Each structure stands twice: as C-alpha cells, then as structure tokens.
Structure 1
Amino acid sequence: MVLDISESETIEAVDALEEFHLVDRVNGSENLDGMCDQGPWWRTVHPHMAAAHMAGAESRLRRQLYELNTRRDSLTALASAYPAGAHREAQPPGALEVVDSLEDVITLIEQASAECTQEMITCQPGGGRPPAELEQAVDRDTALLARGVRMRTLYQHSARRHAPTQAYVDRITPAGAQVRTMTDLLGRLVAFDRRIAFVPHHQRRGGAVVLRSPAAVAYLCDAFDRAWDHATPFCGAERTKVAVDDLRQGILRLLSKGLKDEVIARRLGISLRTCRKHIADLFQELHAESRFQAGYLAATRDLLGETAR
C-alpha cells in the first residue's frame, strides 16, 4: 500500500502510534511474505494489548511514587535532628548585634570610625541634629577626611534652616565632605566601608542594631546610593529654593494621602508650626478650601510628581 504522505509525516505518525503502544518494532524477523527482512519493521498491536501494556506502566509509576514518598518522609524526620541554621551561608561573628546603651553605641561608632579607610555614609532624618552631637561629629569627621576617607551625608530639607547644621556643613565641606538633602529619607543609618552599619533600635531610645552581615549592609548602602542620586546638594541660594520646592511638594503629596498635620511634620522633619504655615500657603496658592480639594487640585496640575533636576 502506498500512502500519499511525506516521509517526515510518516515518521511522526509512527512515533505517535509507538507512544500509545499501538505498533511494535521488530528486528530481524520474517515479513508477511515469509521472506527474511534484514532491517527493522513495524507490526500493529491490538488496542487491548496496548491498554494492558499501559496498565503495567501505571503500576510501575505507582510503585515509584510510593518509594519517593517514603524517602521524603525519611528526609523530613532527619531534618528535625539537623542543626538549626547549618544549611545557611556562614555569617561573620556578630553578624547582628543589639546594643541597648547609647554610650555603648557611641563607643562602637568611634571604633568603626577609627578603623574606616574608604567610605563613611550617614542618613540623618528628622531635621537638624542637636548642637552637642554636631560638635562631637566635627572632630571625628574631619579626622576621617584627613585620612582620605570619602564622606557623604543625607539630611532632610528642613535641616537647611537649622543654624547648627548649617555651621557643621560649613566646617566639613571645605575638608571634602559631601552633604545633600531631600524631602523624605529611608531612616537613620551610619555605615563604614560597606562592612558595618548602625541602624536605630526600634524599641530602645538611643540603642542601635549593629549589622555586619555583608548582604544586609550591601542592601542598606544600595538604598542610600539610590536616595543620594535624587538628593539636592546642601549649598547655594538656588539649591535652597529647589529644596523648599521639594518640601512643599512633599507636603502636597502627603496631604493627598489624607495624613494629619502632625504626621506630615514628623515625616518631613519640620515643626508642626512650620508645617501648618506651608499648608496654609499652599491652600491660598491653590485656592483650596479643604485638604481633599488641595490634593485634587495638586494632582490635576501635575504638582505631585518628582521634581526634575
């Protein structure tokens, strides 16, 4: 019999029949005419036989599945006796240290500062720092800069109006420090050489969590770098105007979210009185009579987007 199909179609059809066990390959057997056939040939298989063959395969699969489940149960039982955390990547000693005392935190920061050789980054939300703290930082920071350490600090825009912070910046920038500001910050952070980082304790005032895990420190430093790229340099009247515009835009953005004055002031590091003055000015400029209306008008005028730099 001659079939009106191509060779590739024939091969595809035979493969499909073989998959369902409806044909069987025969090697070196006699053909239908009783002649010896040197090459392999195919013979058809009754569907009942094909079904029986598949039933056997199904039985073997069930047996294999049972064996796999048995092994999984054994491994689960073994896991309970395995040392906790032994499968994790080894961390350096003291990868995470909780320090409750402010004095101890200061001691550890001074030690890390003395050992720092390449870079120090700091993120200081909440407006200007206390004058006494800034005065202590001047000596430490100028000593770092004198050793060739790169220093970058992020403040919120409100720090531009803080006289002690202005004086601090005026003293360290000539030595090579870089200071920038932005509306909102990711949180308080001090990191040295991208190997050790200090973040605030979430419950103990003045306490800190000291991170030495390479992955955790790298994550925090990368977040700082992204914020730094969008911040405004702390210098010049023109830059200050940009910062004020960013601050007012931040107030508008938080107003549009329905936040209260107290929350907005805390988020942006400004006093409640200053915050309410900005809000009153914005209401007047937008001709708005309510917070909802102010947010709506700001959105329609595209005043909530990122300020181009």
Structure 2
Amino acid sequence: MSDQGSCDARTLGATLGLTEDCAASAVATLTGLLLLRHLPEDSDRLVPVAPDAAIAALVAPKEAGLRRQLAEIDQLRGELALLTPFYAESRRRWQGRPPLTEVTDLKTVVGMITEATMRCRQEVRTCHPGGGRSPTLLEQAFIQDRDMLRRGVRMRTLYQHTARYHLPTQEYARRMTDEGAEIRTMSELFGRMVAFDGETVFIPHQDDLDAAIVIHEPSTVAYLCATFDHTWSLAEPYHPAWTESSARDEVKQAIVRLLAEGMKDEMVARRLGMSLRTCRKHIAEIMEQLGAASRFQAGYLARVQSSAPAPGSA
C-alpha cells in the first residue's frame, strides 16, 4: 500500500493473500490504531499513516492524562505528608499520657469531660449515685447528651431509685429516652463515674468535690466498665409505668438490709442517695410495721421474716 499510495480492503487482501474476513479484521485493527485512514473523497479507499503521526494522535493524549494523574498523586502525597507531624505528635501524647491523672481544678474537669463528650464515637456509660441533680445541670447535660445520641453514640445511665421522685430528673429521663438513651435505677450504686468508648473514665476525687481522677490505664478502665455492666444487668429499666410504690418498696428493703448490718442513719442515707430526713421517715415506718424497738432490731426482724418458710411449705 505504501508503494501504491492507496487501495481498498479487497485489493489489500488479495495482494497479501488474505481472505476477505481476515483483510477486514486487519483493516479494522489498523484503523483503530490510526495507522490507516479512509480518503475523504472515497471512503472505500485507505491510505497509510506515519507511525509518528499515529503516536501523536493516539498515545500523546494518554501520556498527558498520565502526567496529570502523576501530578495529582504528587500533590496529594504532599498534602497528606503535611499531616505527618501532627499525627506523630498526637501518637506521642496518646502513648505518653499517664495511666491516671489527678485534675484538681473544676473548670478543667468540666472542659475535659466536654472534650471527651465531643470525641466519643461508640458508647458512654454514666453512673450517678444520689438523688436528682439540679435543673441547671440537667439542662446542660441534656444538650451534650442529645448531640451524642444524634451522632449514633449509645448512652447508658444508672441512677438510684430515689432519683425517680425528683421531678426535674423525671423530665430529663423522659426527654433522654425519647432521644434513644437507656436509663436504669437500683437502690444502691457502686460510685460515680463517666466512661467514654471504653477508653477513658472519670471518677470523683476522694477528698475534693471539685476534683476528678481521669483514668486511661486499659485494665482499670475495663474493670470499671465491667462493674458498670454488671450493675446495669441488675438494675430496673426506667419507664413511667414503674410506679413510685415499687421504687419505695425496693428502697425500704435496702434500708432494712443496711440496718441489719448495723449502719447508722447517716450512712444509710448516703448509701441510698436520699436526705437524712427522708431516710429516718422510712425507718420510722419500717419500725412501726415490724413492731421493733430499735433500728437494729427492725433490720433483724425483717431479715428473720424474709428467711422464714412460707406457711404450708415442706
């Protein structure tokens, strides 16, 4: 063909000793590679194209696209490399942080809890011994807790039964359960704590109400979370249908048990998260029901009655 300048597919096949189908296939392949082209004035005739021209027309755009991709890769690599020092510093801080930190400033404690709340991605466990919290604290907690729930964070909260009598806490519980939180109560709790993602736990300082202990040590965190989970399995789910009388009955049972252990009124009140006045009112009712002359006797009589076999039992 180069000698003749141009020819059609049939002539090309005859010249090369190819069948018509083989010639058509070869022409299609060479045309696709831009090594053959049809004459504008006669579409049946084909002329050869210089390989350099075919390269320029077919390969050059692919090379240009590849160069653009390589440039984008280099740019992305550079942008990501800028983050390397920040990541290294973050890892250094994470690995270098102490297993236990004492934070003595209340403002710092609140700030650290707020930061942990914002970082939380999986689950938060909270345990709040005592009665109800103040309406102001509950409203502040609701805003942060609601935001976590709407991010898909699971939230489980433990209160004592006495919190069921506190109207602001009742309203907080209703709003939180509507948002998807899980709330349970029981007569006694093991202590106050907040655990984020099973990695960080805040517990109160023993000697300073404005201070906190922040725990990162994995074994200690796992132990505290397991303690929470065990208590959770024993607690009563919070729901409006759970009557106040049911809560009072469980509280009185706990009072009887603690009295039988010889606890003073003040200690019983603290353990059950109620005021001393309310505690003594319950104790007076228990003593009257049992005909007991002393608190210890009330606890003893209640324990004897609870362990006595039912009439007719063998």
What is the TM-score of this pair, normalised by structure 2?
Answer: 0.66
Aligned partner of 2:144 in structure 1 is: 140
How many angstroms does 1:99 deviate by? 0.3
Equivalent of 1:227 in 217, 228, 231: 231
Higher helix share: 2
Equivalent of 2:101 in 80, 97, 102: 97
Matches within 5 A, 1:3-14: none
CA displacement 1:168-220 (0-9 Å, x = unmatched): 11111101001111111110000100000000111222110100111111000
Match status 1:278 vs 2:285:
no
CA displacement 1:135-186 (0-9 Å, x = unmatched): 1101000000001100000011110011111111111110100111111111
Match status 1:172 vs 2:176:
yes
- Which one-letter code corresponds to 2:299 in the other structure? G
- Which one-letter code corresponds to 2:103 in the other structure? V
SS of the counterpart of 2:306? Answer: coil
Matches within 5 A, 1:19-34: none
How many angstroms does 1:91 deviate by? 6.8
- Which one-letter code corresponds to 2:291 in the other structure? H
Aligned partner of 1:245 in structure 2 is: 249
Q: Unaligned 5+ residue runs, structure 2?
A: 1-93, 309-314
SS of the counterpart of 2:159? Answer: strand
Cα 1:303–1:198 shift into 2, 3 Å = farther
SS of the counterpart of 1:191? Answer: strand
Match status 1:212 vs 2:239:
no
SS of the counterpart of 1:180? Answer: strand
Equivalent of 1:120 in 124, 133, 141: 124
Task: State the distance in 1 between where 2:260 and 2:282 align.
Answer: 14
CA contact (8 A) 2:165 2:244 kept: no
How many angstroms does 1:292 deviate by? 2.6
The two structures, once aligned, show a CA RMSD in angstroms of 1.8
Task: State the distance in 1 between where 2:244 and 2:260 align.
Answer: 24
Aligned partner of 1:197 in structure 2 is: 201
CA displacement 1:211-236 (0-9 Å, x = unmatched): 01111110000000000011111213
Aligned partner of 1:19 in structure 2 is: none
CA contact (8 A) 1:179 1:233 kept: yes
Identical positions, percent? 51
Task: State the distance in 2 between where 1:99 and 1:303 align.
Answer: 47
Q: Unaligned 5+ residue runs, structure 1?
A: 1-89, 305-309
Match status 1:301 vs 2:305:
yes
- Which one-letter code corresponds to 1:273 in the other structure? R
Report the number of matched residues.
215
Aligned partner of 2:47 in structure 1 is: none
